[in-house]
Amino acid sequence: MTINNASVFQKILLLFLVVAGLYYAKPFLMPLLIGGILTTLFLPLCNWLEKKKLSKGLSVFLCLLLLLAIIAGFVSLLSWKVSEVITDIALIKQKIIEAGGHLQDYIFNHLDITIEEQVKILKSEQPSYTSIVQMVVGSLTYFVTSFVLILVYFLFLLYYRAHIKNFILKLAVPTQRKELEKVIYSASHISQQYLVGLSKMIMCLWIMYGVGFSLIGVKNAIFFAILCGVLEIIPFVGNITGTTLTVLVTALHGASFPLLGGIVLIYAVIQFIQGFILEPIIVGPQVKINSLFTIIVLVLGELIWGIPGIILAIPITAIVKIVCDHIETLKPYGFLIGETESKHTGFIEKIKIHFKK
């Protein structure tokens, strides 16, 4: 077997150009992709409204209102719980100051750096007030602009969905249009399945973390349950980050070691339930990407687009996998990205049949 070095070089160069293009096209592509993925989520509702004799424009507008209502409800819920945590900020600040004082003493005793010298070093490393204000204003402006663009793309992609689909079909030769239509349907279906499944998963995690944290006596248990559930949008890293924050803040409140150990134990039990029962039932094997490529796409997403890249990495990779699975020459790549066959398939299938009944 011989390897065509020119072909390998071309593929590597193409991959590099794609990554570079994604990096530099972030301001344009990121809102467009988020709007497109949200569009696939509301496709069934929009089609249903149109079947009920509502006009296309009114159906799309109602979907937009529902999206805004969901966002407003989530923000209200989070704000309500954050207001409870704000009352503890003074205590947390005092604990941090005490810990900083102990750290300064440790540095003075072991590294012979006086407290005055430490303060000078910290001041020299801290950004100026003007630069902080500029950074905050720039971030808020970017966020508002991106949010408005996402809503605009969502509105028009949903309205012109049939027109865009026909355009894509016209790009293929007539003999391949049926297969291409299957690819389009599968890609949109996978996006719906992932987003709906992720929403159900987050709600299940809210309940499990809320009950678990409340039973062992974690202060502001509902807030930390919401935090751990929301961070599920970032696989692997999200739940660990949420649990770590819960442990740290609880420790700052003077919690005992058994309570901190209980938080870690609850995290381990919930991860077991999530990985072996909830994910196969709620999300399904079609969206499943193996752990290696999950980590790879998360790292690439963060390097290219930051936090939005982490959020978009999994659904985009799932769509790429579907496209690869339907194109003969790309099937090996779809196989490489996908999850291996599970030995627990029979058990999971039995649970799914039980829930369906």
Burial class from Cβ neighbours inside 10 Å (0-12, 13-18, 19+) for residue 229 reads buried
Q: Where are the domains of the chain?
A: 23-159, 190-357
The whole-angstrom separation of Cα 295 and Cα 304 is: 14
pLDDT tens across the length of the chain (357 residues): 445 566 667 777 887 888 888 888 888 888 898 888 888 888 888 989 998 888 988 999 999 999 999 888 877 877 766 665 665 566 666 666 666 666 666 666 666 666 666 566 555 555 555 665 666 666 778 788 888 999 999 999 999 988 998 898 888 888 888 888 888 887 777 777 777 777 888 888 888 988 988 888 888 788 888 888 888 777 667 777 888 888 887 877 777 888 888 888 998 888 888 877 777 777 655 566 777 887 888 888 888 888 788 878 888 888 888 778 877 788 888 888 887 655 444 544 555 455 444
Q: pLDDT value at position 355?
A: 47
Cβ of 236: how many Cβ atoms within 10 Å? 12
**Which one, of 247, 251, 215, 254, lies nearest residue 228 by Cα?**
247
The whole-angstrom separation of Cα 31 and Cα 320 is: 19
Identify whether the C-beta of residue 42 lies closer than 8 Å to the C-beta of residue 67.
yes
CA dihedral 317, 321, 327, 332 (to 10 degrees): 110
**Which one, of 271, 267, 254, lies nearest residue 219 by Cα?**
254
Q: Which residues, in sequence order, are CB contacts of 259 under 8 Å at separation 6+?
A: 216, 217, 218, 250
Pinpoint the alpha helices (H) of the chain: 5-24, 26-51, 56-86, 89-111, 115-125, 129-159, 161-170, 177-216, 221-230, 237-252, 257-273, 291-305, 307-326, 331-337, 345-356
